[in-house]
Amino acid sequence: MSTTKELTHSAKTASPSTHATLRVYNTLTKHKEPFRTVEPGKVGIYLCGPTVYDKAHIGHMVGPVIFDCIKRYLVYCGYDVSWIVNITDVDDKLIKKANERNLSMLEVAEENIADYRENLAGLGVNQIDHLPRATECMDDIIAFVEKLIQRGYAYESDGDVYFDVSKDAAYGKLSNRSLESIQGEGGEMADRKRHTADFALWKAAKPGEPSWDSPWKKGRPGWHIECSAMSHKLLGQTFDIHGGGLDLVFPHHENEIAQSECCHGKPMVNYWMHNGLLRADPAAGKIGGRGEREQQAAAVDPEDAVAGKMSRSKGAGGLANLIARQGGDRIRFFLLRTHYRSTVLFSESAIQESATGQETFFRFFKRFERISGESFYTLPAATKRIEGEFDPANDELLQAVHASRNRFLAAMDDDFNTGGAIGELFDLVRTLNKFCDTQQLENTEKRSPTKLKSFRHGTCVLRELTQTLGLFDRPVESSGSPSEDTELVGQLIELLIDLRATARKKKDFTMADTIRNRLGELKITLEDRPGGTEWAKG
């Protein structure tokens, strides 16, 4: 098998500070390939962000969430990573929206960019290094177009500029299309183009449209050019990873490659990574796309209220509401349970289901705190893969932890298989829980420093791994807004718990159960543990 050979080879060529067991699926080659960087130890990532003509929806978050993990994981593996997410803030739809709302294009953009950033933060996406906007890079865009004209790959036509696909022999290589099979956009531009498949690099402005000075007519950039210009400006002529939704492969990314490679005469990107799309329900096609628009009115399954909500979420605050309702951490967890290239069937009931499983982690974190007195969230876990390596020696617990860690890393190394990796996380928690049970760690008298030390070490490993996914970074804010009453409520519950404890001592279980049941009706659960009774809301 060639796998062994590749691994051996990469171990020799890789920088010692980075891990070369990583394999990445490349849309361009349709294969998983060993990950090699352009520059040793450095990774440049460009992800296509939104066109900000409207509020973000959940589908816009799939890419950012997975790439947030990818960056975290690469950093963990020792790379110096620069991650760009572009914002397209000049576009036909933006102009249309601005006219409808009687606002400037800039105002519409500002509003939706703020919404986008809020939603990113809500899902814990905080690894982005730059969010460049197309309108901030106009000089670079114009220079890029000029160069394409100079090199004979583009032509001006009545103030517009078009890319001449017939000059690019490689055109179609990403989406595997032949020039003949491409219909191209017809319409009003058709007569200004030499080829139907030619696409606009620069569009002359009509009266009243926002425009920028250019060597051609005053106008604005075409849809694809800003990505070529900005990625070049920020990451260079050839960079490591370009990402986006699967729906961008054609024409957007195909056109980006054509522009960039014809302009620079070099490969633009080494790894093209595309995430799968979200679907609202089996009947409704993908979210935010043509399928939704066509079927929106038609088939809304009454069983699945979510489909309806998704459609409505195109309006104000849809995603923000969803995050408020479910919690960003749950949505993130839900998205990461599936491999990033798969289609995810989205529904709130599916989020609920995955959240039920997610509770296992939160319960364990509480248990850890009960036993160790330390918060899981502040554990000094290794932030680098190499630092986290350890020899479990004869420690049975740590041997199991070590094995789990290896399986987790193997999953992540295999094209960022977060779904498989999360499975290992569940295993790891079970191992740790089992240790608590068998060693009776909840019982103060049975604890030994040695056992506690192993337990803490194992839990540090758990934290080390969850950090690479950006999961459980901080305590979940308790649902419901805190009020001044919170303290008093807590004191009252403690009082009831004391009364119940007295009842239990007297074997008055009827009273004890009444207290627990009545509190249960108020959504307050009591759990009796060796160290006393614990209560929780919800």
Partner RNA sequence: GGCGCCGUAGCCAAGUGGCUAAGGCAGCGGAUUGCAAAUCCGCCAUCCCCGGUUCGAAUCCGGGCGGCGCCUCCA
Answer for the pair 348, 326: CB distance below 8 angstroms, yes or no.
Answer: yes
Q: What phi and psi values does residue 219 have, to the nearest 5 degrees?
A: -175, -155
Segment interacting with RNA, rule: CB under 7 A, options 14-22, 105-113, 136-144, 171-179: 171-179
Q: Which of 363, 447, 457, 537 contacts RNA by CB under 7 A?
A: 363
Nearest approach in angstroms of CB 445 to RNA is: 15
Query: With CB under 7 A as the contact rule, which of the stretches 11-19, 262-270, 313-321, 358-366 interacts with RNA?
Result: 358-366
Check the CA dihedral 47-16-10-421 and report its sign: negative
* Residue 423 near RNA by CB under 7 A: yes
Report, in Å, the least distance between residue 280 CB and RNA.
9
Q: For residues 485-524, which are near RNA according to CB under 7 A?
A: 504, 509, 512-513, 516
**Whole-number Å distance between alpha carbons of 256 and 137:** 16
**Could you tell me the smallest distance in angstroms from the CB atom of residue 28 to RNA?**
12
With CB under 7 A as the contact rule, the residue among 286, 332, 385, 405 that binds RNA is: 286
Q: Which of 30, 265, 297, 302 binds RNA (CB under 7 A)?
A: 30
Site for RNA in 195-254 (CB under 7 A): 223, 244-252
Q: Does residue 429 interact with RNA by CB under 7 A?
A: yes
Q: Which of 296, 241, 252, 249 is nearest to 276 (CA)?
A: 249
> Is the Cβ–Cβ distance between 354 and 331 less than 8 Å?
no
Q: Which of residues 175-194 bind RNA (CB under 7 A)?
A: 175-178, 181-185
The CA R_g of the chain, rounded to the nearest whole Å, is: 27
**How far is CA 444 from each of CA 464, 487, 495, rounded to the nearest angstrom?**
27, 28, 24
Q: Are 469 and 336 in contact (CB under 8 A)?
A: yes
Question: Does position 26 bind RNA by CB under 7 A?
Answer: no
Angle (CA) 71-77-83 rounded to 5° is 20
Q: Binding residues for RNA, how many (CB under 7 A)?
A: 87
Cβ closer to RNA: 67 or 239?
Answer: 67
Q: How far is the CB of 150 from RNA (least distance, A)?
A: 26
Selected binder of RNA within 350, 381, 476, 496 (CB under 7 A): 350
Spatial separation of the C-alpha atoms in residues 252 and 242, rounded to whole Å: 12
Q: Two tokens at 275?
A: 């995430």
- Residue matched to tokens 């361009």: 28
d(CA 412, CA 467): 13
Element (H, E) at 218: none
Both tokens of 55, joined, read: 């509020």
Asked if 51 interacts with RNA (CB under 7 A), we say: yes
Q: Please tell me whether residue 173 binds RNA under the rule CB under 7 A.
A: no
130 is a contact residue toward RNA (CB under 7 A): no
Nearer to RNA, 38 or 410 (CB): 410
Binding flag, residue 311, RNA (CB under 7 A)? no
Of the candidate residues 62, 138, 319, 409, the single one contacting RNA (CB under 7 A): 62
